[in-house]
Chains A and B, each alone.
Chain A
Amino acid sequence: MYEELADEGFTVITVGIERSPEDARPWIEKASPKHPSLIDIEHLVPDLYGMINVPTVVWIDEEGRIARPNDASFASNRFKLLTGLDSKRHLRRLRAWVRGDAPALTPSEVRKHQDLPTAAEQEARAEFTLAWWLSREGHDDDAERHYERAGELAPHDITIRRGSMRTRGLNPMGLAFLKIAIKSALTRTPLYRRIEDSPA
């Protein structure tokens, strides 16, 4: 995708929401991308953009304005069965926007599709910051109550809940995540927030 559109005034920036650069290294080295591939161990980008899960994509235009806000989309259909997300539709739209064949969203449509952060989500992020500092200082036992508090404040914030599992000795692919997924299905809170709009 990047290779195809790099000559058309387009770039990709990937941001790995990880505990350390080493967690992202195998992924980045395998892809050996020419675009910036960044590591965000403090969850700065989720905080600035109000992201509550990954993958989340944002389109940003030449003037640095949000042309399409947070949307859940994968780069391939590898996880389609699990997540219900079809990457092909997103890529088709993106290609049309980059080439100038189709506009992104209008500013009022962007606003309509934005979920602005709540006070509880921001407090959860502060609890995560505190917990993560305690973990790194070797105080895992004391970090735990702050991870738990973050999860209570923003149960839908998968970036915090699943992203902290390995640090807490939990398996992000195992029972701990399954419980979150089941709860989300029962409460009809989508794990992946996608923009519902007309077919491209």
Chain B
Amino acid sequence: MSATLTLLHDGRTDEITVADPARPTIPADALEATLGWELQPEGLCQGAMCVPVDQDALVGDGGLDLGVFADALQRPLVTDEKHVVAALGASHHDRGEALASLQAPDFTLPDLDGNPHSLSDQRGKKVLLVAYASW
């Protein structure tokens, strides 16, 4: 029985139709449109970069098991079966590499009025980034 999987990833919320919610498989077209990776004979590819994927992991007409996708990219995948929702986090390798490069990761966030601001808007200035909370 097919179901709609809510996938939380990269700050986005996407809905994907999956055949088996207990073992979600991402159709090849959704893989590219939603997650930005293309299935090629070499494996999962993004531009010139490819990550090998076990060909046995391919399901149906070119779909890929979401768990296999997450493992291949070393990204954490956590799910709630009752609500058919999954969160695909960032790989600690990717985050670590970015930080170790010493280039400050750019971000865009809203102010109180909902206007977006990016760190990169401040290029040319020294910046004190302060994360705080009311709790």
Contact = CB atoms under 8 A, between A and B. Distances in A.
The answer to whether A and B assemble together is yes
Contact of A116 (B13, B88, B100, B120): B100
Interface string B1-20: 00000101001010000000
B104 A65 contact: yes
Q: Chain A contact residues: over half helix, strand or loop, or mixed?
A: mixed
Contact of B89 (A12, A123, A133): A123
A54 B131 contact: yes
Interface stretch (B44-52, B61-69, B77-85): B77-85
A180 interface: no
Interface string A142-167: 10001001000000000100110110
Contact of B77 (A11, A28, A126): A126
Interface string A109-126: 011001011110111011
A28 B127 contact: no
Q: Chain B contact residues: over half helix, strand or loop, or mixed?
A: mixed
Contacts, number: 217
A149 B80 CA distance: 12
A166 B135 contact: yes
A38 B76 contact: no
B109 A62 contact: no
Contact of B95 (A29, A107, A117): A117
A50 B95 contact: yes
A36 B78 CA distance: 34
B130 A75 contact: yes
A9 interface: yes
Question: Interface centre among A9, A46, A111, A123, by most B CB within 10 Å?
Answer: A123
